[in-house]
Amino acid sequence: MSASFPLPYRIRHSKKAKHLRLVARPEGIELVVPSAVSETRALAFLHQHRDWAERKLSEMRSITAQLQPFQRLENGSTLPFQGREVPLLVREHAGRKPQVQYDGRFLVSVPAGSSENQQHLTLSALFDWAKAWIREQAETIVQRHATRFRLYPRQIRVKRMRSRWGSCGPRNDINLNWLLAFAPLSVLEYVVVHELCHIRHRNHSADFWKLVAQHLPGYAAERLWLRRNGAALLRRFE
C-alpha cells in the first residue's frame, strides 16, 4: 500500500482484466490490476486518478449515509418498479418452486412451510423473474439501436453485480445487472446503449460519449439517476 495515497484502497489482481480499473466502494477504492501489469505502474495509475477516486468515494459515502435500513422482502412491503413503489405480496402455495407474477404489484408464491427461508426464496424468485424481464427488454432496445452503427452484441447476460450496472466483454457479450429491472426503463436503455457503444470504443473517450449521445441525446439524465439512486438500490437488495 502506498503511504502517500490519502484514501483507503486495496489491490485486486485479475487474470481476466485487460486494463487497469478503479472501483469505488463505500469502504474504499479497489484497484483492479491485470496479471501483466506491474505494481509500480498500477500505483502510478492510482495516483493519476486520485481526484476521480476522492470524488467518487465522497459521493458514495454521502449517499450511503442517507440510506434507510435494509428493508426485508416480506408480505406487505414494497418494491421499486418503473419509477414508483409497488406492493409486494408474498404467499405460500402448493408448488415446489417459487413463482413471481406482476400485475401492477409483485406477487411472489413460495412453497408452503418455507417461512424460515422466505426471504431467500423471495429474493431468488425475483432474480429469476428479473433475468427474463431484462433480457426481453434489452433485446428490444438492442433491435432499436444496434443497426444504426452495426453494434451487435454476441449475447446478453443478466447477472448479480456488486458495483457495476453493465459491462461489455472482449467478445462483445453484454452483461447487465439484474437490479436494472427495478430502475426506470429509460435507465435500462441507457445502460444497454452504453455497453453497445463499448463494442466500438473500449474506453470512455470523447468519441465514446459522442456515440452514446447519437443514440440517446438526453442520456445525462439517466446517468445522473444512477449516480443519485444506484447505491441505494444496490443496498436495498444486498
Report pLDDT digits (tens) over 122-157: 999 999 999 999 999 999 999 999 999 999 999 999
Question: Does residue 218 belong to any structural domain of this protein?
Answer: yes
Contacts of 168 (CB under 8 A, 6+ apart): 153, 174, 175, 195, 196, 198, 199, 202
Which residue would you say has higher pLDDT here, 71 or 27? 27
Question: Does residue 123 belong to any structural domain of this protein?
Answer: yes
Instruction: Say yes or no: 95 and 213 in one domain.
Output: yes
Instruction: Say yes or no: 174 and 212 in one domain.
Output: yes
Instruction: Say yes or no: 159 and 107 in one domain.
Output: yes
Would the pTM count as exceeding 0.85? no
20-24, 76-80, 222-226: segment of lowest average pLDDT: 20-24
Question: Does residue 72 belong to any structural domain of this protein?
Answer: no
Instruction: Say yes or no: 231 and 113 in one domain.
Output: yes
Instruction: Say yes or no: 88 and 14 in one domain.
Output: no
Instruction: Say yes or no: 173 and 227 in one domain.
Output: yes
Question: Does residue 100 belong to any structural domain of this protein?
Answer: yes
Instruction: Say yes or no: 48 and 93 in one domain.
Output: no
Question: Does residue 70 belong to any structural domain of this protein?
Answer: no
Domain end (from 65, 86, 101): 65
Question: Does residue 198 belong to any structural domain of this protein?
Answer: yes
Domain end (from 23, 42, 65): 65
Please name the residue that has the C-alpha cell 478503479: 22
Average pLDDT over residues 85-104: 92
Question: Does residue 3 belong to any structural domain of this protein?
Answer: no
Average pLDDT over residues 190-216: 96
Q: Closest Cα partner for 170 from 145, 153, 188?
A: 153
Q: How many domains does the chain have?
A: 2
Residue 189's alpha-carbon distances to 63, 88, 116, in angstroms, are 24, 25, 37
Residue 159 per-residue DSSP state: E
Question: What pLDDT is stored for residue 199 in this prediction?
Answer: 97
120 pLDDT above the threshold of 80? yes
Alpha carbon distance 186, 137 (integer Å): 11
Question: What pLDDT is stored for residue 235 in this prediction?
Answer: 82
Instruction: Say yes or no: 131 and 161 in one domain.
Output: yes
pLDDT band at residue 63 under the 50/70/90 scheme: low
Instruction: Say yes or no: 118 and 147 in one domain.
Output: yes
Ranked by mean pLDDT, the top range of 11-15, 141-145, 216-220 is 141-145
Question: What pLDDT is stored for residue 207 in this prediction?
Answer: 96
104: left (phi over 0), alpha (psi -120 to 50) or beta: left
pLDDT band at residue 2 under the 50/70/90 scheme: low
Question: What pLDDT is stored for residue 69 in this prediction?
Answer: 45
Question: What pLDDT is stored for residue 64 in this prediction?
Answer: 52
Mean pLDDT of the chain: 89
The CATH number of residue 175's host domain is: 3.30.2010.10
Instruction: Say yes or no: 27 and 114 in one domain.
Output: no
Structural domain for 22, as ranges = 9-65
Instruction: Say yes or no: 114 and 155 in one domain.
Output: yes
Instruction: Say yes or no: 221 and 151 in one domain.
Output: yes
Question: Does residue 1 belong to any structural domain of this protein?
Answer: no
Query: What is the b/e burial string over 113-125, where b = at least 16 CB atoms within 10 angstroms of the residue's CB?
Result: eeeeebeebbeeb
